[in-house]
Amino acid sequence: MNNRSGEKERQEPERTVRTEPVFQGRLISLQVDTVELPGGKTATREIVRHPGAAAVLALHDDRLIVVEQYRKPLGKMQIEIPAGKLEPGEDPMETARRELEEETGWRAERLEPLHAFYTSPGFADEKLYLYAAYDLSRGTFAPDEDEHLNVDAITFEQALAYIREGRISDAKTIMAVQAWRLQRLTGSFV
Spatial separation of the C-alpha atoms in residues 125 and 49, rounded to whole Å? 6
Task: Give residue 30's pLDDT band: very low, low, confident or very high (50, 70, 90).
Answer: very high
Report pLDDT digits (tens) over 121-168: 999 999 999 999 999 999 999 888 888 999 999 999 999 999 999 999
Report pLDDT digits (tens) over 42-86: 999 999 999 999 999 999 999 999 999 999 999 999 999 999 999
Which residues form the catalytic set? 145
Spatial contact of 132 and 111, defined as CB atoms under 8 Å apart: yes
**Structural domains in the chain, sorted by start:** 15-49 (no CATH), 53-115+127-186 (3.90.79.10)
CA nearest neighbour of 84 among 132, 124, 122, 50: 50
CA nearest neighbour of 99 among 70, 58, 64, 63: 58
Q: Is the pTM of this model over 0.85?
A: yes
Give the rounded distance of the alpha carbon of 189 from its chain centre.
17
Spatial contact of 36 and 42, defined as CB atoms under 8 Å apart: yes
> Greater confidence, 1 or 29?
29
Give the rounded distance of the alpha carbon of 85 from its chain centre.
9
Q: According to the 3-state scheme, what is the secondary structure of 126-180? A: CEEEEEEEEEEEECCCCCCCCCCCEEEEECHHHHHHHHHHCCCCCHHHHHHHHHH
Report pLDDT digits (tens) over 77-108: 999 999 999 999 999 999 999 999 999 999 99
CA nearest neighbour of 57 among 185, 186, 182: 182
pLDDT of amino acid 159: 98
DSSP string, 59-79: EETTEEEEEEEEETTTTEEEE
